Amino acid sequence: MKKFSFCLVFTILFVFLQSANSQTINNKNKALSERIANYDISVKLDSEAKTVSGELTLNWKNTSPDTLNELHFHLYLNAFKNTQSTFMQESGGGALRGVGMDKNDVLSWGYCQVSSITNTKKEELINSFSYIQPDNKNTHDQTVAKLMLNQPLNPCETIELKIKFETKLPKIFARSGFADNYFLVGQWFPKIGVYEHSGIRGAKNGQWNCHQYHASSEFYADFGVYKVDINVPSEFIVGATGILLNEKTGSEGTKTLSYLAEDVLDFAWTCSPKFKVIESEWNDVKISVMMQPDHLKQADRYIESLKIALEYFTEHVGPYPYKHVTVVDPPLKGMGSAGMEYPMFITAGTLWKLPDGLRFPENVTIHEFGHNYFMAILATNEFEEAWMDEGMNTYFETRIMDESYGVHSAWIDFDFYKQGDLESKITGYNYSEKNKIAPSNQFSWLYTSGGYGMMSYNKPAVFLSTLDKMLGRETMDNIWKTYYKRWKFKHPSTKDFCDIVKEVGAIKYEKLYQSNIKDFLYQSIYTTRVCDYKLNSISNTKIEPDYGLYKKDGKNLNIRKEDAPQPKFKYLSKVNLLRLGEFTVPVEIKVTFANGEEKTTVWDGKERAHIIKFNTDSKIISAQIDPDYKNILDINLSNNSYTLKPKKSGLWKLTVKFLFAIQNVFQFFSAFI
């Protein structure tokens, strides 16, 4: 009986512990997203032929209320299949990052070829798989395909497809491919598009959001779980999205690595026999840095800046939800793959013996990690609303660089040169040149006259920095935290972000500036208006007192000049302001008087010309628009102040021009980002 009781108690305890452990595991693996598109992928790399081949099983759930008769897929690497693809045409023959395709080198080209598609009934569907061109009807473009289903897919149903494919990696010049025995494998498998039902992004009817691969655009996908087995030659070192589950030695000098990535919208990986892996940790996040041997001494620069970014985003936006980050350091020949972002996986970039004072590795690491928030977690549509990823991320990149390395030394830190206090202003000068090309909220490939970088990166960063300074950092951070908490893993749109800004910041904005924050957002995002305010002049008119008749008890009295009361005001002073641009925003004006007194007033900025009057006993000697440099959108600082004293602005103007030149250097490097 005692033995039975002991066994019973032990059994109950064992079941309880197992249940508790199971509950703990389930909590750890709790779905963070809808997990619509789920992939089991098994592939093999042929390092000589530069191919990745194998098969995948796709489980895709129809979360819409619509019955579907077709599925749409991306085959991104078909952009490198011929010279007439949309990507090749838009990129000027492939010279997107300074390196073009070698038309005579067969290995330079790439493709993604599907050979079989079967359903759970083992019915072959490949004959119903055809290329389409939803954006521009370019029949030479094969980056999007349509699969007609042999039976309808009803709402809430899941379809399972087994797809056999071969991907030929191109020679690296844009994001993905190979350079000798270095491989960066991105956009590499047949990937299902996003089905948006009615009401999503203004759609009247359900539709597939599955754009062609354009030179000036990136990606958009649903979240899911990826289980990926990668077979490579045994001497290759591999890094990837997700967590490495195990590594097995295979036959013929190969090995297979198995990865799991949950709640991600893509999967990328890299391999090379030359990688040196440096590992570190931040809180409970594992960091793996895949270094080139000749860059090994710079590994700490990547690690330090990544930890700075992890800390900053966690504090000011929200917690990083994944347990791993992989940073890839490409070789010189593979620099076309530098500055890219995938979930839990980024590529950075440096040069041999790059001085510590040139913070390009830190800058690119912080920028690319930031994409893990805006591209990978919030997951906006980079095809259609690129500013919500690139612009928001550039805004945070500037914040982090300035606050972590100092506004005088954020990008360049040498004793003989220090940056000015208005570093973020330089972005404003730069974007202004092409500001009228198009608004920021535009499909990325429609910037036909250039300006994608300016309108997607620079201008949004500038208007967000302006909003930051006008509202104050505490309110701005509340906006970001609310936005992240409410919209992570949900694909927010421009409207969704603006709704958060209005919800969190409108009361303070309107109280401070007596203006509607909706006007500021609309002009910044949806128009091409340029902001330029000018302080045109100041004047002081001496008021002569009237020593004539004065009234006392209703009677006029003649009072001698020497007995007359001193006049209350001696000067009528005026500040003349002009609005030269179309963009209207409230601006502060600081006025300084000869007696040292200062007064600050707010003008709503709407009139073309505006005069501020003062009746004082002291002359105005100077006035300045936006004294605290809140309005970074203003494209011309040189006309924002006026003084009756001799001006000594020549040195500052030269400094601004020099800073602008430095910014252009970084703009060149931003082609990697």
* Token pair 């997990």: residue: 35
Q: Are 397 and 305 in contact (CB under 8 A)?
A: no
Q: Looking at the DSSP assignment, which residues form a beta bridge with residue 44?
A: 53, 231
pLDDT band at 61 (very low <50, low <70, confident <90, very high): very high
Q: Are 370 and 343 in contact (CB under 8 A)?
A: no
pLDDT(12) > 50? no
Strand 598-603, strand 207-209: pairing: unpaired
Quote the Cα angle for 379-190-173, to 5°. Answer: 75
Question: What DSSP state is assigned to residue 522?
Answer: H
pLDDT value of position 162:
98
Specify the 3-state DSSP secondary structure of 366.
Answer: helix
Q: Are 491 and 380 in contact (CB under 8 A)?
A: yes
pLDDT(103) > 90? no
Long-range contacts of 247-256 (CB under 8 A, 24+ apart): 254/44, 255/231, 256/229, 256/230, 256/231
Quote the Cα angle for 347-365-478, to 5°. Answer: 125
Q: Are 400 and 369 in contact (CB under 8 A)?
A: no
Q: Record the tokens describing residue 594, joined without a space.
A: 């000869």
**CA 469, 470, 472, 477 torsion-angle sign:** negative
Specify the 3-state DSSP secondary structure of 487.
Answer: helix
pLDDT(672) > 70? no
Specify the 3-state DSSP secondary structure of 577.
Answer: strand
**Taking Cα atoms as reference points, which of 110, 122, 205, 201 lies closest to residue 161?**
122
Which is higher by pLDDT, 169 or 429? 169
Instruction: Pick the range with the lowest mean pLDDT from 161-170, 258-267, 384-393, 642-651.
Output: 642-651
Q: In order of start, what are the domains of the chain with their CATH numbers?
A: 38-222 (no CATH), 397-526 (1.10.390.10), 533-644 (2.60.40)
- Spatial neighbors of 147 by CB under 8 A, at least 6 apart, are 70, 71, 72, 73, 117, 125, 128, 129
Return the amino acid letter for 314: T
- Spatial neighbors of 65 by CB under 8 A, at least 6 apart, are 155, 197, 198
Q: What is the mean pLDDT of the chain?
A: 86
Strand 641-643, strand 533-542: pairing: unpaired
Quote the Cα angle for 75-237-371, to 5°. Answer: 50
**Region 623-645 average pLDDT:** 91
In the chain the first and final C-alpha atoms are separated, in Å, by 72
Specify the 3-state DSSP secondary structure of 200.
Answer: helix
Question: What DSSP state is assigned to residue 346?
Answer: E
pLDDT band at 644 (very low <50, low <70, confident <90, very high): confident
Q: How far is CA 270 from CA 290, 297, 308, in A?
A: 9, 21, 24
Return the amino acid letter for 228: V
pLDDT(128) > 70? yes
Q: How far is CA 555 from CA 1, 417, 507, in A?
A: 122, 73, 53
Q: How far apart are CA 349 and CA 361, in angstroms?
A: 6
Q: Which one of 12-16, 410-414, 476-480 scores highest in mean pLDDT?
A: 476-480
What confidence tens digit (pLDDT) does each residue in 568-601 have?
568 899 999 999 999 999 999 999 999 999 999 9
* Token pair 């040069």: residue: 351
**Region 502-509 average pLDDT:** 96
Q: Record the tokens describing residue 332, joined without a space.
A: 């010189």
pLDDT(467) > 80? yes
Specify the 3-state DSSP secondary structure of 88.
Answer: helix
